[in-house]
Structure 1
Amino acid sequence: MADRTFLNWPFFDERHRELAEAVDAWAAAHLPVDHGDADAACRGLVASLGAAGFLRHSGAAEGEALDVRSLCLIRETLARHDGLADFAFAMQGLGMGAVSLFGSPEQRAWLDRTRAGKAISAFALTEPGSGSDVAHTATTAERVPGGFRLSGEKTYISNGGIADVYVIFARTGEAPGARGLSAFLMPADVAGLEILDRIDVIAPHPLAHLRLNEVFLPDSALIGQAGSGFKIAMSVLDVFRSTVGAAALGFARRALDEALARVQVPRVSGGTLADYQMVQGHIADMALEVDAAALLIYRAAWAKDSGAARVSREAAMAKLYATEAAQRVIDTALQLHGGDGVRHGFAVESLYREIRALRIYEGATDVQKVVIARSVLG
């Protein structure tokens, strides 16, 4: 049983504790799902999470703000039960984050659908030649009568190929570099959108390489102001980076639970692995990493919910530490399982594959170090 005492920390209100308990009860009854067909599993999970009412937390109603503590608690809880369920929830939030924060009333009609689990969303920022280097986005959006014509490629796009709607970032050219980007809301059925390739990774989920072949989008597709795309992207990541740390925390808590169960199994020779001080040391290190990660995550989430305009430093610290710590915790749990740790069908083997990508997406660890250093130095 995962530790729940952290819910009594002063970061949370009673509604957060009730939400965490509700999500945990739902997850215990419905997860894990079969990962054999990731596309079908994600479609089913989005529909189920929407029907259960949890996806309403993935976006903000008009006039309201996103509650980052709720986002983090849901992601942590779902990840502890099933990484694909966490992914399905997270992408509904990240995919429509720009609309939650900056969307027009017309655009928010899509948000109503994604929050109900009736449409799947995607966030299309990464390109073949610019992953973390968003300022050098090459996809272009040329002004034409009545709108824009988009050309370029996007890659490693989560929900690519199954999404109903994409938020696309492209260069409109108001200024050089980051100041010349804009964000657009693009339905998946537009003419000219091509799925070049579906990408297989070590922890399967829907992922694709997209090409935009002179895709026409009307003026109403522009999110916010032309030239504000970089600000929009960073504002979205400012919210959702903490939640990546929360997902990693969920993986780490599950790994600690699995390790505790393993080391307390009676051995044929007598006693348990937990009797050894070396093993006790490993357990202590794991528990310490879990609590330290939780403190950083929920500090960042609390600060944002308390009205901070930006929490770039806090979110970067939370994302960096939680994902790196989870990798260490899971690796230790695998080691304590011996040969079973690398066998399919064992939770720690699945966790070992799930955690690795979190140290890369939404700003790799090295990028987070740059964000933190600039904040400290500046």
Structure 2
Amino acid sequence: MADQTYLSWPFFEQRHRSYAADLEAWCRTHADALHAEGSDVDADCRHLVKLLGQADFLRATVPSNHGGLNSPVDVRTLCLSRQILAYHSGLADFVFAMQGLGTGAISLFGSEAIKQAYLPKVAAGEMIAGFALSEKEAGSDVAAMTTSARRVEGGWIIDGEKTWISNGTIADLLTVFARSGEAPGARGISAFAFPTATKGFSITERIDVIAPHPLATIRFDECFVPDDHLLGEAGQGFKVAMATLDMLRSTVGAAALGFARRATDEALGRATSRELFGAPLSDLQLTQAALADMALGNDSSALLIYRAAWAKDQGQPRITREAAMAKLHATDTAQLTIDKAVQLFGGAGVVRGNMVERLYREIRALRIYEGASEVQKVVIARAAIAEAQGRKA
């Protein structure tokens, strides 16, 4: 079992500890479903959404007044969920995360009618959500977006193409961002709640990645969405996207921490049971150094993650700097931790199906999505510069 001592830190309340214990127990009871790596990733994701919904854990992704667990959504609970699920199953973490990311903008900016229509179904696992922001030439550079939204009587017409869309092959509901033209660049983008049953929506390509997830390129051809599906105000889509990512970016770090903690436990098991030259592998100083680096990295990441989550839950309006630090450090450090674990396993560490091999495939994408590591460095640097200039003023 992963180290649980962090739960005694002052970032947490008893409700967080109880929730973590319940989710950990549930994961152990459903180990077979969580550890399966089948040939049909879409079916696996649908099954996991159903299981998590039936167990009420998806309620953590939406506000309590719309079928959820806390109001507003509690970021510490989201981080605990992702850390624990990632420890047991990368795909389970993925489906949980997408329910939150896919509806985060609806929770924050949707009308009451839209919240009531969609959020309870997402919380129950009856509807699968997704987040459609990226395009072929517009990933980190949101201002380069070309998908368009034009006003018509009673609503909007969306045209264009999105790619790298998680849950793109199975989503029932997407948060879609499109250029509506109120101003140049990022200021002329709007956000919409978009049911994928809408006429004109299609999946044009499935994207296969090293850790199988339901990623796709999707297309909008003259897709009509009613006025009440606009999230926030027209032209505020960039603000909607950044507020959503600001709330959820630290949870990416939490998932990375879950992977890193599992890799650490696997490495400890290997080091203490494997003999080399007549003694346990753990007797070698180089092995001890690797294990020390893992333990140090895990605790450092946890402190940054739960500092950011706590600040958000305490009402700090923006945690852009804190969340960027948490994601950057946790994902980059987890990559190093998992690589060390693979090295300690030797040849067995690269055999397909070995837990550390699976972790090695899972971790890589986390350093790219929801803002690549390089982008997080820019965010952190700009915050530091602005703070320094503010002190001089």
Question: What TM-score do you get using the length of structure 1 for normalisation?
Answer: 0.98
CA distance in 2, matches of 1:127, 1:344: 32
Report the 3-state secondary structure (helix = DSSP H, G, I; strand = E; otherwise coil) of the residue aligned with 2:191. Answer: strand
Among candidates 322, 325, 328, match of residue 317 of structure 1: 325
Query: Distance in 1 between the 2:160 and 2:353 partners?
Result: 40
1:293 positional shift = 0.3
Q: Which amino acid aligns with 1:289?
A: G
Q: State the alpha-carbon separation in 2 of the partners of residues 315 and 266 from structure 1.
A: 39
State the partner residue of 2:44.
41
Counterpart Cα distance in 2 of 1:297 and 1:221: 33
- Residues 253-286 of structure 1 show CA distances to partners (whole Å, capped at 9, x for unaligned) of 0000000000001527422011111111111011
Tell me, yes or no, if structure 1 residue 143 matches structure 2 residue 146. Answer: no
1:17 corresponds to: 17
Answering whether residue 76 of structure 2 is matched by residue 69 of structure 1, we say yes
Q: Does 1:222 align with 2:230?
A: yes
Deviates more, 1:344-353 or 1:62-71: 62-71
Once the two structures are superposed, the pairs formed by residues 332-343 of structure 1 within 5 Å of their partners are 332-343=340-351
Two-structure CA RMSD over aligned residues (Å): 1.0
CA contact (8 A) 1:57 1:66 kept: yes
The equivalent residue for 1:265 is 273
CA contact (8 A) 2:179 2:190 kept: yes
8 Å Cα contact 1:299/1:314 also seen in 2: yes
Partner residue, 1:235 = 243
Gaps of 5+ in 2: 387-393
Report the alpha carbon displacement of residue 61 of structure 1 after superposing the two structures with TM: 3.0
4+ residue runs over 3 A deviation: none
Moved more, 326-335 or 213-222: 213-222
The share of aligned pairs that are identical, in percent, is 60
1:86 paired to 2:93: yes
**SS of aligned partner of 1:363:** coil
> Quick check: 2:348–2:354 contact (8 Å CA) kept in 1?
yes
Over residues 69-121 of structure 1, what are the superposed CA-to-partner deviations in whole Å (9 max), with x where a residue is unaligned?
00000000000000000001000000000011111111112011001111000
2:252 aligned counterpart, secondary structure: helix
Q: What secondary structure, in the 3-state scheme, does the structure 2 residue paired with 1:257 have?
A: helix
8 A contact 1:120–1:163 mirrored in 2:
yes
Match of 1:28 in 2: 28
The one-character-per-residue Cα deviations of 1:295-325 (angstroms, maximum 9, x if unpaired) are: 0000000000011000000000000000000
| Whole-angstrom distance in 1 between the partners of 2:341 and 2:6 | 21
- Give 2:353's aligned residue: 345
State the alpha-carbon separation in 1 of the partners of residues 277 and 231 from structure 2: 66
Secondary structure of 1:11's counterpart equals: coil
The correspondence for 1:103, drawn from 89, 106, 110, is 110
Shift of 1:33: 4.1
**Residues 127 and 153, structure 1, Cα contact 8 Å, conserved in 2:** yes
1:61/1:100 contact within 8 Å kept: no
Q: Indicate which of 46, 53, 57 corresponds to 2:56.
A: 53
The 3-state SS of whatever aligns with 2:219 is strand
Tell me the amino acid that sits aligned with residue 302 of structure 1. Answer: W
Per the alignment, residue 256 of structure 1 pairs with 264
